[in-house]
Structure 1
Amino acid sequence: MVRYRLLVLTSVPIIITLFVLIGITFYWTVTYTWQNALMNVRADLAVAHHSMELLQKEQRMQLQSMVDSYDFQYRLRFDESSLSHWVRSESHQYNLDFIVLHPASALGEFSKQERRLLQEGKEQTFFQVLNQRELTALNPDLPARAQVPLLKENKIEQKGLVSRSLIPIFNNEGHLQWILDGGILLNNSTVLVDRIRDLVFASDTLPTGSIGTVTLFMNDVRISTNVPLDSKNLAGRAVGTRVSDEVSREVLKFGKVWVDRAYVYDSWYVSAYEPLRDINGEVIGMLYTGYLQWPLIKTFLTNIIELGIGIILVLVISGIVVYQGSRDLFLPIEKIYQVAKFVQMGFDRRVGKLDVYPDHELQILGNQFDTMLDQLEQRNQAIKQAALELEEKVEQRTHSLHHKTEELEQHIKLLNQARSKLVVSEKLAALGELTAGIAHEINNPLGVILGNVELIQFELGDNTVQVQEELDAIHAQIDRIRNITRSLLQYSRQGGVQNEVTWHHLNQIVEESLTLVRSGTKKLSITFVVELNAKCSVEVNRHQLLQVLVNLQMNGIHAMDDKGRLIIRTEDWIDEQGQSIGAIVRVIDHGCGIAKENLERIFDPFFTTRRSGTGLGLSVSQSLIEDIGGEITVESEVGQGTTFSVYLRQKASTSNDLDLLMMS
């Protein structure tokens, strides 16, 4: 309807614009939200990094306060022998996992970088990975505390990651006298990561349902973390698990800061990683901060759904307003359209008065449309009157022409009959002369052949038994040639072939064809499988059917390259009501088959796929079978074989019968 077309034309641009705006808004929102999430987690990582620096600074200040204490200074001046033991015993008081006092003579145990800084009198704090022996030297309790079972690997990580501070102590002459060594073990330090998490993720800074996490890595193993083993129930800690290969490659191998979404143990987190380096700048671990991604996505999707619902409501309300507002415009247009439709169907309708004011454009259009319809009606009446007069004149002229046409058709018919008789007479006269000469020429050598065969039989005497079957076949074929020549002579004398269509049992003709084919294929590797199940007799020309069967069998042998199994099967032809129609002969070979594109052409004259073939065998066979009302069908599959089926009726329908049927 026009109403809805106009509504679509006015609404579609608005809808497209709104959806484009929705898409842009969605894109900007996703991009802004994700970038904001990455910026937040990057800031969280910076806070965690600063917290670690404060931790190390606090650790160094604790050691410095010990050096500046009265007890340390007193023992340094008056009781150096008890100083080392006293330092070790004070580690808990200063909230450190180990404090060791090394003499200056032990300077060689430290790395080159550490020795240089100590000799320059500089304090140093750094991260370091220590093995069991090195941990035991600092505190005998540290190796047991450092052990981290690796989940799903059935192994235990024995090394420990420590935050270590070294403070050089010089004597009055300015020579290095002592080295104060203290720090904390980061393995399994849940209090430390929870303290950093509380600093990084303050309350109400994350989406509802999300959790903030902080992790310390030694290489790629989580040695201290508050990432839960079950993010849904917030149960356990994922200590002893490994980081993903992607993060490990970027942070540990290339030493880069990695900020993106990451799969942390069992859930996706918005994550940030930075490398932890030792005093030589080598990456030995990572610091991680992150929070669950799903609550962020859930909040974002909720906002998008709310926005979408609001936009849909706006579209619905706008559509209703537009529809109601344009209804007064649509109704007159629809009335004009309906009138045009009725006029097209043959009814007499007019627009008349519309529900608008008289000077409205649509009312003027309606009046003009009515005027055009009135003029059209007048012209139609004039055309009908002229048509009636013309029809009367045409009828008079047609009646006159009809008589002339009948006379002309009668003359043409007589002329065609005379011409046809003349052509047939000339044709039969020429054909009679040719066939009589051909028949006599064939009979002369045939008599010689027959005489020689009889002479062979006479000369062989009793030995003719060995070749009796072949001799009988020769006699049968001589009789067949004589029948053909006799038919040619009859045709030349009487003007038509006397087809001897008589009742025959099909199985006898099939056996005779097999005798002929076997005699010509004795040297070939052909196995004949004969299944003669037909009980019905059929009305056929015996010689013609024999020719068709021999042709089909030889074609099957050629298709199998002169070796294989050829099946000849006869059966009764039964219709759907169970009544006997006639008999069927099937010739089945297991040769190369016939291509699909050639199946429709095999009965065409001169079509053949064999180099030595003429292309006439199947064409002639089809003609012979169709002349008696039968049918030849073919089924073939490339590479499997071909089945030719000859359908023969009990009562043959000869060409004379067909002519009589057409004349009637």
Structure 2
Amino acid sequence: MRLFRSLSHSIRRSVRLKLLTLTLLPVALVLPASLAGLTAWGASFTYEQLYIKVNTDLAVAHDLFQRIQKDHLDRLARLGNSYVFREALRNGDRQAVQRLVEDERDSASFSFLRVVPTGTFGESATLQPSVGIEILDAAQLAALDSDLAASVQLPLVKTPRARPTGRTLEDRGMLIRARQPIVNTDGAVVGVLDGGTLLNNNFTFVDAIRDLVYGPGSLPEGSIGTVTVFLDDVRISTNVPRVAGKRALGTRVSEEVSRAVLDEGETWINRAFVVNDWYISAYEPIVDITGKRVGILYAGYLEAPFRTALWQALGLALFLLLGLLALYAVLAIRGAKSIFRPVEKMSQVITATRRGQTLRVGEVETRDELAELAKEFDAMLDRIEQQTAAMQQWTDQLEEKVAERTAELQQRNDELQRTITVLRETRRQLVVAEKLAALGELTAGVAHEINNPTQVMLGNLDVLMSELGDHLDPVRPEIELVIAQVYRIQAIIEKLLKYARPGEYAGYLTEIDVKQVIRDTVALISHMQKSRPFKLTLELESKNTVTINEQELQQVLVNLISNAVHALPEIGGKIVVAASDWEHRGVCIAVTDNGAGMTEEQCSQIFILFS
């Protein structure tokens, strides 16, 4: 721990060690990590591909195995349905029937083929074609053919890793057995074609599957593809070699595979020790016609050539990696030297300068930015020495002027602050004036455009009232309200024109009853209660009349109540409009609500235009 701390301290204090650490540390870290990762990934990827291939090989072997079984049944069906066979059967020519059966047995390589009476295998089995795997003991084989029982005798070979057993001989037979009902011209079943092919010692069978699965070019040089049929866990037909020129008949599958495939019914795919070497192997159960697991179908190929190729590829990759890392280390160290040497020289100069000594970097070996930096560093030191004396003189002069300038600046600062305040107020007034001027031009045009349609509306309302005559009474309040609002529009137009041409208009002041104006205003905003329900209460106690512009007062009230409505809560909103006498000569109008209210900042902006 002390050594590590000392090394860490040295690295922090030395640019040389920092650069060497930054350049060489990746080499030290990347090399083992790259080797481990490359090895693990290469092995994992390679074996994953090998397992995918052997799984595909097993699937092909399985399909071929099923196709061979179906082909047995198809041959029996063609024989039973052939014209010659039917004619011989119809004529009762037993010799011709037997001759046709023997010819088919020899041409199709059946181990046995016979014609048996109906009912031999039960009524249901007689009526339906069937094919599948059957396991027959020695007595059952002898009943079919005495030579079959003798051909299956197979001594068991002691096999490492196999499941312990007390058996020494395998005398059972595994057959592909097909049964085809024989139907006469009347459609009646008169017999059954019963044929089978013994898989024990049937090298033609496994070699044919191997040649189809592992054809030329499917495996690298030195590897061999193998296919095996197991009866239970015993190899009864295989092309796996045990010794030179001999097949591994009688050897047994490992206990691990036996438990997985025969006991659990799983497909087992992995590298496995087969007889005397390691193979990339795939096993699947073989089931008989009753669905019972009676054996194993195996496909696999020798692992050694793939393993050798893998290690050769990894070795080549390792060699290339080591070469690249070595080249990187050399270049990194040389590059680091070209950096830390000028930096160390500059560090020495700085230390000497701090002590009051005069020292320069001088020439450096490189011609890069560091060389330019060293040159400029020396020039900077020269300029610093020249400027130091001048700065000392300037400092003395500056201190004398500071006191003089301070008082002058303070005075000017006060004047500037006052000027800024005046400018701000002036700017605000100019902005308001500009906005009012622009508004005046705009409102003059708008007022002119609106005034024409209002005149048309009033004229048409007069015509409407005249035309309605006695029928006017039901809608009179509505029409009068429309006329009042049209006049209100004209009043608004007049107000707009006041902004545009204030000299041409004088205020229209009349003596009004404030309570009536409030009631009229409430009628104008009654529609707002539909979109936002609220309770509106009127407390009208005033008795005085006031001289004021009625339209302007009504506009103020509409704006106040509308703003109050917008500030109300969604549920339970309340607005109170009160009017009371003020000093026997005026009226005080108050509009209150239970909304959120306004902040102090908002209140301060109420009477400022365009705020």
- TM-score bracket for this pair, using the shorter chain length: 0.5 to 0.7
For the 8 Å contact 1:336–1:366, the answer to whether it is kept is no
* Equivalent position of 2:124 in the other structure: 116
**How does 1:37-48 map onto structure 2 within 5 Å?**
37-48=50-61
* Equivalent position of 1:268 in the other structure: 278
Deviations 1:495-544 (A, max 9, x none): xxxxxxxxxxxxxxxxxxxxxxxxxxxxxxxxxxxxxxxxxxxxxxxxxx
State the Cα distance separating 1:65 from its structure 2 match: 2.9
Deviations 1:63-116 (A, max 9, x none): 2232234542233112354467436633213321110111014234xxxxxx52
* Equivalent position of 1:548 in the other structure: none
**How does 1:87-106 map onto structure 2 within 5 Å?**
89-90=102-103, 91-106=105-120
Amino acid in the other structure paired with 1:262: A
What is the alpha-carbon distance in structure 2 between the residues aligned to residue 217 and residue 249 of structure 1?
14
What is the alpha-carbon distance in structure 1 between the residues aligned to residue 144 and residue 342 of structure 2?
100
For the 8 Å contact 1:263–1:269, the answer to whether it is kept is yes
For the 8 Å contact 1:215–1:289, the answer to whether it is kept is yes
* Equivalent position of 2:491 in the other structure: none
Change (3 A) 1:365 1:195: farther
Alignment partner of 1:278 is 2:288: yes
Query: Which of 194, 199, 210 is the matching residue for 1:181?
Result: 194
Change (3 A) 1:221 1:349: farther
What is the alpha-carbon distance in structure 2 between the residues aligned to residue 29 and residue 116 of structure 1?
57
Query: Which of 206, 214, 228 is the matching residue for 2:219?
Result: 206
State the Cα distance separating 1:36 from its structure 2 match: 1.4
Deviations 1:109-151 (A, max 9, x none): xxxxxx52432xx311100110112112222221122222211
Name the TM-score, length of structure 1 as normaliser.
0.49
What is the alpha-carbon distance in structure 2 between the residues aligned to residue 188 and residue 365 of structure 1?
96
**How does 1:26-425 map onto structure 2 within 5 Å?**
26-82=39-95, 85-86=98-99, 89-90=102-103, 91-108=105-122, 115-119=123-127, 122-152=128-158, 155-230=168-243, 235-333=245-343, 353-355=362-364, 360-361=373-374, 364=377
For the 8 Å contact 2:118–2:126, the answer to whether it is kept is no
Query: Which of 12, 23, 33 is the matching residue for 1:10?
Result: 23
What is the alpha-carbon distance in structure 1 between the residues aligned to residue 149 and residue 349 of structure 2?
100
For the 8 Å contact 2:77–2:180, the answer to whether it is kept is yes
Amino acid in the other structure paired with 2:24: S
Change (3 A) 1:276 1:362: farther
Quote the sequence identity (%): 35
What is the alpha-carbon distance in structure 2 between the residues aligned to residue 366 and residue 29 of structure 1?
58
**Range with greater deviation from structure 2 (6-15 or 309-318):** 6-15
Count of aligned pairs: 356
**Range with greater deviation from structure 2 (155-164 or 168-177):** 168-177
What is the alpha-carbon distance in structure 2 between the residues aligned to residue 141 and residue 221 of structure 1?
21
State the Cα distance separating 1:273 from its structure 2 match: 0.7
Gaps of 5+ in 2: 1-13, 159-165, 385-611
- Secondary structure, aligned partner of 2:256: helix
What is the alpha-carbon distance in structure 2 between the residues aligned to residue 35 and residue 316 of structure 1?
32
For the 8 Å contact 1:87–1:99, the answer to whether it is kept is no
Deviations 1:396-444 (A, max 9, x none): xxxxxxxxxxxxxxxxxxxxxxxxxxxxxxxxxxxxxxxxxxxxxxxxx
What is the alpha-carbon distance in structure 2 between the residues aligned to residue 359 and residue 49 of structure 1?
77
Amino acid in the other structure paired with 2:329: G
What is the alpha-carbon distance in structure 2 between the residues aligned to residue 66 and residue 358 of structure 1?
99
What is the alpha-carbon distance in structure 2 between the residues aligned to residue 352 and residue 168 of structure 1?
109
Amino acid in the other structure paired with 2:121: L
- Secondary structure, aligned partner of 1:315: helix
For the 8 Å contact 1:147–1:187, the answer to whether it is kept is no
What is the alpha-carbon distance in structure 2 between the residues aligned to residue 216 and residue 235 of structure 1?
19
RMSD: 3.5
- Secondary structure, aligned partner of 1:242: coil
Amino acid in the other structure paired with 1:324: R
Amino acid in the other structure paired with 1:360: L
State the Cα distance separating 1:254 from its structure 2 match: 1.5
What is the alpha-carbon distance in structure 2 between the residues aligned to residue 263 and residue 197 of structure 1?
19
* Equivalent position of 2:477 in the other structure: none
- Secondary structure, aligned partner of 1:162: strand
Change (3 A) 1:27 1:358: closer
- Secondary structure, aligned partner of 2:242: coil
For the 8 Å contact 1:351–1:366, the answer to whether it is kept is no
* Equivalent position of 1:581 in the other structure: none
Deviations 1:1-55 (A, max 9, x none): 9646522312323663565455444443333222211111010001101111221
State the Cα distance separating 1:167 from its structure 2 match: 0.2
State the Cα distance separating 1:341 from its structure 2 match: 13
* Equivalent position of 1:652 in the other structure: none
**How does 1:489-638 map onto structure 2 within 5 Å?**
none
Structure with higher RCO (Cα < 8 A, 6+ apart): 2
For the 8 Å contact 2:138–2:171, the answer to whether it is kept is yes
- Secondary structure, aligned partner of 2:221: coil
State the Cα distance separating 1:365 from its structure 2 match: 8.7
State the Cα distance separating 1:278 from its structure 2 match: 0.8
Amino acid in the other structure paired with 1:102: V
Change (3 A) 1:191 1:349: farther
Change (3 A) 1:324 1:161: same
What is the alpha-carbon distance in structure 1 between the residues aligned to residue 342 and residue 149 of structure 2?
95
